[in-house]
Amino acid sequence: MGKIILQIGSYSFEEIKNSLWTEKDPYLESSLRFCRDWLRGEMLFELSTSGSTGTPKTITVHRRQMEISAKATKDFFGIQPNSLLLCCLSTDMIAGKMMLVRALEWDADVVLVAPKENPLLELSMNREFDFAAMVPMQVAACLDSTKTAGELKKIKQLIIGGAPISPALLEKIGMEKLNAYQTYGMTETVSHVALAKINGQKPIYTALPNVGIGTDASGRLWLEAPMAQEKHLQTNDLVELIGNNQFVWLGRADFTINSGGIKIQPEILEPQLAAIVSEFFPKSDFFLSALEDSKFGQKLVLVIENTQPEQKRAKDLLMEIRKNFHKHLVPKTVLFVSDFMRTPSGKINRRANLNIAK
């Protein structure tokens, strides 16, 4: 039987089932309580959604959904018995809870680390991790540290989700030859339902076993996933289908900008602008959005996270974009927010930051 491994000591699943732990740290105690409830056969669990496209909410998920999700991931990667997992995400959210469920269902050992920017920094393990999940910020921090870059590369299967991966990080992951995958999923599907290998090419997502996919008349992805409560789950994600079980993600339909009849997908254009924005505003996060406009209906705007509204540099930035992009893809103005608001899972809250920037 597997066990939960902490910084100091460990607990077998049997000990956890019988509440035989002495941890007082809120993160560890909450995680162990969830594991105890799971081992005792609890059937229903409350999960928080990320709030990336609306107000965060709490939903109830059935145990069977999480079991199906864990099995699909195991089958996709061919996880072997006696594997070692790393859980370094918030176990209040679905991604962290599912790492615990995978360990419990796969009868694997799992190292439990409170979520931090570089979760590998204080770890000293004699065994290599067979499977781990991280958010992009954690992957970037691990790669930036000479102490942990090598340890990250030793992870046999790494899934990355929770927030978009920047073009620069995607390139670095490819250069370092990590065996890493981007995830596609949502709380309603209890973690990911599709995965895309990161290899320097445009990500192509492959659906997990037994997950059906298709698109509606608007090109929005629908899912028929056994781990979802709804038999037919309509998403707001625009995709390009490739065969019966693969797709390329194009962006959110509700983020689509219609400027003078020209439809712009911010999440497609943003990676293309990243190098130029970085040249003028190094290490600043940004996103594209729209404001109402009497002439065009909507006008494209660039929102940059920067402590000062540097209009001269912004003007030079727009001039450089004009040299490289069609006029319809050039933002009409640049707005600044000193500190971006983010969702609990770390995604940029576009609507809230646009309201601040107006």
Q: Which residue carries 């030079």 as its tokens? A: 316
283 Rama class: left (phi>0) / alpha (psi -120 to 50) / beta: left
Q: Give the total residue count for the chain.
A: 358
DSSP letters, 232-279, are: SEEEEEEEEEETTTEEEEEEEGGG-EEETTEEE-HHHHHHHHHHHHHH
Q: With CA atoms as reference, report the closest residue to 269 among 245, 223, 300, 247.
A: 300
The whole-model pTM stands at: 0.83
Query: b vs e for 246-275, b when ≥16 Cβ sit within 10 Å of the residue's Cβ?
Result: bbebbbbbebbbebeeeebbbbebbeebee
The answer to whether residues 43 and 60 touch, using CB atoms and an 8 Å cutoff, is no
β-partners of residue 5 are 10, 111
Enumerate the domain spans of the chain: 3-210, 256-357
Residue 119 near residue 139 (C-beta atoms within 8 A): no
Cα–Cα dist 273/233, whole Å: 32
Please give the Cα distance from 354 to 301 (Å, whole number): 9
Q: Which pLDDT score is estimated for 53?
A: 44
| Superfamily (CATH) of domain 3-210 | ANL, N-terminal domain (3.40.50.12780)
* AA identity, residue 330: V
Q: 3-class SS at 299?
A: strand
CATH value of 256-357 in 3.30.300.30, 1.10.1740.10, 3.20.20.80, 2.40.128.260: 3.30.300.30
Tokens of 110: 């799992």
Cβ pair 70, 98 in contact under 8 A:
yes
Kind plus residue range of the DSSP H or E element containing 318:
helix 311-324
C-alpha torsion angle, residues 104, 107, 108, 110 (rounded to 10): 20
- How confident is the model at residue 55, as a pLDDT? 56
Cα-Cα-Cα-Cα dihedral sign, residues 151, 8, 105, 118: negative
Q: What are phi and psi of 194, to 5 degrees?
A: -150, 155
One digit per residue, pLDDT tens: the chain, 358 residues? 688 988 768 999 999 999 999 888 999 999 999 999 999 999 999 876 655 444 566 788 999 999 999 999 999 999 998 899 999 999 988 899 999 999 999 999 999 999 999 999 988 777 899 999 999 999 999 999 999 999 999 999 999 998 888 888 898 999 999 999 999 998 889 999 999 999 988 899 999 999 999 999 999 999 999 999 889 999 999 999 999 999 999 988 988 998 988 889 999 899 999 999 999 999 899 999 999 987 788 999 999 999 988 999 999 999 999 999 999 999 999 999 999 998 876 789 999 999 998 7
User: Among residues 93, 133, 141, which one has the least CA distance to residue 117?
Assistant: 141
